[in-house]
Amino acid sequence: MRSLAILVLALLAAPARAAEIGAGHWEMDIVTTMPGMPAGGMPIKQVQCLSAEDGKDPAKLFGSPGAGCRFTDQRDTGSAYHFRISCSAPTAVSGAGEMRYTRDTLDGQIVLDMKQQGGQSVQTKTTIKARRTGPCATPR
């Protein structure tokens, strides 16, 4: 499950680049569902301070070194970002996603097919909702 959470965070890098999201304090709600999971899925709440630079190159923030992920068929309409993704490690993953965005919000879904040991395939659906809540707190 931890590798799935890391992958989801890596996926957030694609829409952030397209949107050049606003700098500041972001709250993210990420819910992943898959067969056999309890109703309501696996929710993750993340709070993050993003700089203007992070919005332009989110791999610095969300990157997952060694994940071997490639984004293809990337299309940015100015309010939505569509993409396909394939990853080779640590688990073979392929899928597609769409993120709708504004400077202050992200909302979308990613559907992934993961190949597990023994060749079994598991499909996950991840819903992401994020909003910028204001400036980052200054360190004291």
Name the band, by pLDDT with cuts 50, 70 and 90, for residue 85. Answer: confident
Interior CA angle at 21 toward 15 and 27, to 5°?
A: 90
How many helices (H) and strands (E) would you count in the chain?
4, 7
Residue 49, CA distances (Å) to 16, 100, 116 in order? 13, 20, 34
Nearest to 106 by CA among 38, 17, 32: 17
- Which has more confidence, 4 or 98? 98
**pLDDT confidence of residue 13:** 47
pLDDT of 18: 43
Q: State the pLDDT at residue 135.
A: 92
C-alpha to C-alpha distance for 113 and 14, rounded to whole angstroms: 18
Question: Would you list the domain boundaries of the chain?
Answer: 2-134
- Cα–Cα distance between 124 and 130 in angstroms, integer? 19
How many CA atoms are closer than 13 Å to the CA of 64, on its beta-carbon side? 21
Give the chain's radius of gyration (CA, Å).
15
Q: Could you read off the pLDDT of 34-53 as tens digits, one per residue?
A: 888 887 788 899 888 887 77
Query: 140: which residues sit within 8 A by CB, 6+ positions away?
Result: none
* More confident site: 63 or 109: 109
Q: What pLDDT, on a 0 to 100 scale, did the predictor assign at position 96?
A: 92
Instruction: Kindly indicate the confidence band of residue 71, based on its pLDDT and cuts at 50, 70 and 90.
Output: confident
Q: Distances in Å between the alpha carbon of 98 and those of 36, 58, 65, 66, 127?
A: 25, 17, 23, 24, 10
